Amino acid sequence: MNVNTIIEKEDIPVQELVRSALEARKKAYAPYSGYMVGAAVLTNELRIYTGCNIENASYSPSICAERTAVSKAVSEGKRKFKAIAVAGGPKGEEISQYAYPCGVCRQVLREFADPDEFIVIVARSGRDFKMHLLKELLPESFGPDNLKT
């Protein structure tokens, strides 16, 4: 199935997800990189959880926006997701790039998603975004099924 078919079939509120990611980006705590990211993940029940990147003076404890959003949802008992919107770029500037999830975040999304149907939206604004399937961004992935005997 292609992205547009899935969006229709699954009732994915693309605009609302993008708006939520852009709004969440305003809360980013990124004093070291100056790179602000917002994310909004959609659960199977069509609830949205948002997140931002949260950096740390010790650097390595920093967490990406996508994983903040997923952690919030999982800690509220949600474990199946349909889509995520991400918006990122340097602080104080108009977003000029499509900010794709890093490799670690792709793997975390894979844990709670069907890679053939999960949609990743990268947004520069409410009107300017691109959409992909997770399987395009993380092909031949390793997931929970691999550990089932």
Binding site for ligand THU (CB under 6 A): 30, 33, 35, 37, 53, 55, 62, 64-66, 101-102, 105
- In the complex with ligand THU, the residue whose CB is nearer, 12 or 88, is 88
Residue 49: helix, strand or coil by DSSP?
Answer: strand
Q: In whole angstroms, how close is the CB of 77 to ligand THU at the nearest point?
A: 24
Q: What gap in Å lies between CA 123 and CA 26, rounded to an integer?
A: 14
- In the complex with ligand THU, the residue whose CB is nearer, 26 or 148, is 26
- In the complex with ligand THU, the residue whose CB is nearer, 10 or 135, is 135
Q: In whole angstroms, how close is the CB of 101 to ligand THU at the nearest point?
A: 4
Contact yes or no for 87/18 (Cβ under 8 A): yes
Q: Which sequence positions are flagged as catalytic? A: 66
- Phi, psi angle pair for 88, to nearest 5°: -150, 150
Q: What gap in Å lies between CA 27 and CA 87, rounded to an integer?
A: 12
